[in-house]
A and B are shown apart, each in its own frame.
Chain A
Amino acid sequence: MTPDAPLKLDNRTLFIGFFKIGIVGFGGVLAIARRAMVEQWHWLTQAEFNDLFSLCQFMPGANITNLAFAFGARQGGLRGAACAVVGLLTAPIVIVLSMGALFARFATVPAVGHTVGGMAAAAAGLVAATAFKIAQPGLATLRPAFVTALAFALVILLHVPLIWVLALMLPLSIVLAWRV
């Protein structure tokens, strides 16, 4: 096999690969996807992964499902994309909906409510930490900090619908980023 030969994964490989990524991905599927796709399976180089990931981060939607769509399509067109996404989501959906059904059945049991309540408090802390990590680099300079604060204020204080927040903030932020 020459290193330059373009990789062509069949749909079955895509499904199984993303199935594995989905089922081990606790609280951070992306890190696992990167390690598996780049380091273990050599599906793409780190640079290729970064370029693909920048697209998935840039576009709306869940980064990891976007990644499955984009990578799957490059390998096997629409069928490849479908195999990758369905592979990624099948196991997690079965598990999460089973948990959801159990919770719906036992949510009124006080001990269950308290347990999941404690978990929710910890989960909120995790999201706060992640949000802080994402927002922090921008908070050091005036313009990004202003954009971050304004987006937060529009959503939380003024209850502006998300679509209007984006319609206002995207052009504003682009103009500010342009003039750096």
Chain B
Amino acid sequence: MSPLLQVTILFGKLSLLAVGGVNATLPAVAREVVEQRHWMTAHQFSQLFAIAQAVPGPNMLVVALIGQREAGLAGGLIATAATVLPAGVLVLLVSHFWHRFQGARWRQIIQRAMLPISGGLMLSAAYVLVRAADNWWLMASLTATSAFLCLRTSIHPLWLLVAGALAGYLFN
């Protein structure tokens, strides 16, 4: 199968499973591109994720970087389209009657039911990224520091990425 087709299928099938956001699918993406297809190492995966975080725009653009790495410019564009389109079409279909059921009990129940699932999936994504990025103690302490500062202060996330990059450059 051509790389372009593989990229399309991989991200197309995950699009509708991205409950709570695209980051919730990161463990599944990592499993496929790192463990099963060997497109990259776990550490490279975490590096691509960091680049996507550091540029303006939605964080989901890590999928563009993965597609680009495997199938060039077209791969990057196709990966983005495959991630965005199926979910977007579904939103268009549902958006017509979403407003109508604003106060409906079933809508509240489903919304309430999804939150803890999103929580579990996001924690899984964090676990996968932390394992992939922290290959020695300094990296682990960078992770812990940035998580702590993000939770306890209102410092802009971009500064934490800049600080991490500097620390990685200076103390390798």
Are the CB atoms of B142 and A152 closer together than 8 Å?
no
How many angstroms between the C-alpha atoms of A60 and B23 in the bound complex?
11
How many angstroms between the C-alpha atoms of A81 and B84 in the bound complex?
12
Q: How large is the interface on A (under 10, 10 to 19, 20 to 34, 35 or more residues)?
A: 35 or more
* Minimum CB distance partner of A103 in chain B: B51
Q: Which of A2-10, A35-43, A134-142 contacts B (4 or more CB under 8 A)?
A: A134-142
Are the CB atoms of B22 and A100 closer together than 8 Å?
no
| Contacts across chains A and B counted by CB atoms under 8 Å | 367
Are the CB atoms of B113 and A177 closer together than 8 Å?
yes
Interchain nearest-CB distance for B171 vs A (Å)? 8
Q: Which of A29, A81, A132, A138 contacts B88 (CB 8 A)?
A: A81
How many angstroms between the C-alpha atoms of A85 and B21 in the bound complex?
16
Q: How large is the interface on B (under 10, 10 to 19, 20 to 34, 35 or more residues)?
A: 35 or more
Are the CB atoms of B165 and A61 closer together than 8 Å?
no
Interface residues of A in 147-166 (CB under 8 A from B): 147-152, 155-156, 159, 161-163, 165-166
Interchain nearest-CB distance for B161 vs A (Å)? 5
Are the CB atoms of A65 and B150 closer together than 8 Å?
no
Interchain nearest-CB distance for B122 vs A (Å)? 4
Q: Which of A61, A138, A150 contacts B84 (CB 8 A)?
A: A61
Are the CB atoms of A121 and B142 closer together than 8 Å?
yes
Q: Which of B47, B95, B115, B135 contacts A144 (CB 8 A)?
A: B115
Are the CB atoms of A123 and B133 closer together than 8 Å?
yes
Are the CB atoms of A92 and B144 closer together than 8 Å?
no
How many angstroms between the C-alpha atoms of A116 and B53 in the bound complex?
11
Interchain nearest-CB distance for A73 vs B (Å)? 5
Interchain nearest-CB distance for A15 vs B (Å)? 15
* Contacting residues, chain A, for B150 (C-beta < 8 A): 125-126, 129-130
Interface residues of B in 9-35 (CB under 8 A from A): 14-23, 25, 27-28, 31
How many angstroms between the C-alpha atoms of A34 and B80 in the bound complex?
23
Measured CB to CB, the residues of A under 8 A from B are: 22-29, 51-52, 54-66, 69-70, 73-74, 78, 81, 85, 88-89, 91-93, 95-97, 99-101, 103-104, 107, 110-111, 113-139, 143-145, 147-152, 155-156, 159, 161-163, 165-166, 169-170, 173-174, 176-178, 180
- Since A91-B56, A118-B169, A156-B124 are in contact, a sample of 7 more A-B pairs with Cβ atoms closer than 8 Å, ordered by chain A residue number, is A89-B57, A89-B58, A92-B57, A100-B65, A121-B133, A124-B46, A166-B19
